[in-house]
């Protein structure tokens, strides 16, 4: 694969790039359901992780582009889940939302290749994180490896909007041609990088076929490959 040269700063997506979002999300929902079982066994009996995840996705789709932060989307999804179970209780929904995020803080594990790759890369490059999520690298002990962290809930801009990449460029203190973004999403990460005029790496961990028409500058299946092509 062609080597990548002229780079001074590298930004990474978070969920599904540095850690397994689905695993963390499902573990957190499972813990929240156990809490609900203690407080309202009847409601808990008609809900499960798949149903709650489905409701959350529906709420997120409904609020897309309306500037609603993810924590509020999750809160609304718990409120609707309780309504579906025949229990309208906003206080309980708020409690479950808090429980969920407590579990999220302890259930995030970085992929096996992340720590080593970041340790190597931080010796030569300024590393940053650009995420449409609301989880920072501190949850899995990676915060010291990043020079900057930009979360969409904090800045009010989401990928693929070029503005969030311009924020990263300013924090990194480099030109567009010196900046590289790495992420798993063609629609958010790669297209966002294209919109901002910076180079992109598609992290395709599952080696799926790209039928989107969105073309990354580089494609890898793991972060060890990134280290190799930057060497």
Q: According to the model, what pLDDT value does residue 64 have?
A: 85
pLDDT greater than 80 at residue 223: yes
User: At which of 40, 72, 107 does a domain end?
Assistant: 107
Average pLDDT value for residue range 20-41: 96
Is 1 part of a structural domain of the chain?
Answer: no
Predicted TM-score (pTM) of the model is: 0.93
Mean pLDDT, residues 185-201 taken together: 98
pLDDT of residue 155: 92
Residue 2 pLDDT grade (very low, low, confident, very high; cuts 50, 70, 90)? confident
Average pLDDT, the chain: 95
Domain boundaries, position 116:
9-19+110-230
Q: Based on the domain organization, do 146 and 99 belong to the same domain?
A: no
Provide the b/e sequence for 129-138 (b: ≥16 CB within 10 Å).
bbbbbbbbbe
Number of compact structural domains in the chain: 2
Same domain, residue pair 168 and 199: yes
Whether the per-residue pLDDT at 231 is higher than 80: the answer is no
Rounded to whole angstroms, the Cα distance separating 93 from 95 reads 5
**Residue 94 within a domain:** yes
Q: How far apart are CA 231 and CA 223, in angstroms?
A: 13
Select from 41, 102, 106, 101 the least CA-distant residue to 77: 101
Q: Please compute the mean of the pLDDT values over residues 182-194 and round it to a whole number.
A: 98
What was the pLDDT predicted at 1?
Answer: 72
Residues 120 and 213 both lie in one domain? yes
Residue 40 phi, psi dihedral angles, 5° rounding: -155, 80
pLDDT in tens, 57-85: 999 999 988 888 888 999 999 999 999 99
- Last residue within a domain, chosen from 79, 107, 135: 107
Q: What is the rounded distance in angstroms from the CA atom of residue 190 to the CA atom of residue 216?
A: 6
- Both 89 and 40 in a single domain? yes
**How many CB atoms within 10 Å of residue 105?**
13
Strands, DSSP E only, in the chain? Answer: 9-12, 126-131, 148-151, 179-183, 199-203, 218-220
Average of per-residue pLDDT across 200-222: 97
User: Looking at residue 15, which CATH number applies to its domain?
Assistant: 3.40.50.1000
């Amino acid at each position: 694969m062609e080597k990548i040269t002229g780079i001074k700063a590298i930004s990474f997506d978070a969920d599904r790039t540095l850690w397994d979002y689905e695993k963390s999300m499902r573990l957190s929902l499972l813990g929240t359901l156990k809490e609900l079982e203690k407080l309202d066994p009847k409601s808990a009996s008609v809900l499960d992780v798949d149903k709650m995840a489905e409701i959350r996705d529906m709420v997120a789709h409904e609020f897309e582009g309306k500037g609603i932060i993810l924590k509020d989307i999750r809160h609304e999804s718990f409120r609707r889940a309780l309504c579906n179970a025949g229990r309208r209780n906003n206080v309980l929904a708020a409690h479950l939302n808090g429980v969920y995020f407590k579990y999220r803080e302890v259930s995030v594990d970085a992929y096996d290749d992340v720590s080593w790759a970041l340790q190597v890369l931080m010796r030569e490059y300024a590393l940053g994180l650009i995420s449409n999520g609301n989880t920072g690298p501190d949850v899995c002990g990676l915060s010291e490896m990043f020079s900057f962290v930009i979360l969409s809930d904090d800045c009010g801009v989401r990928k693929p909007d070029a503005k969030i990449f311009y924020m990263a460029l300013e924090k990194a203190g480099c030109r567009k041609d010196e900046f590289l973004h790495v992420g798993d999403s063609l629609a958010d990460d790669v297209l966002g990088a294209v919109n901002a005029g910076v180079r992109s790496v598609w992290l395709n961990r599952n080696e799926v076929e790209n039928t989107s028409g969105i073309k990354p500058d580089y494609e890898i299946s793991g972060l060890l490959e990134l280290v190799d092509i930057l060497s």
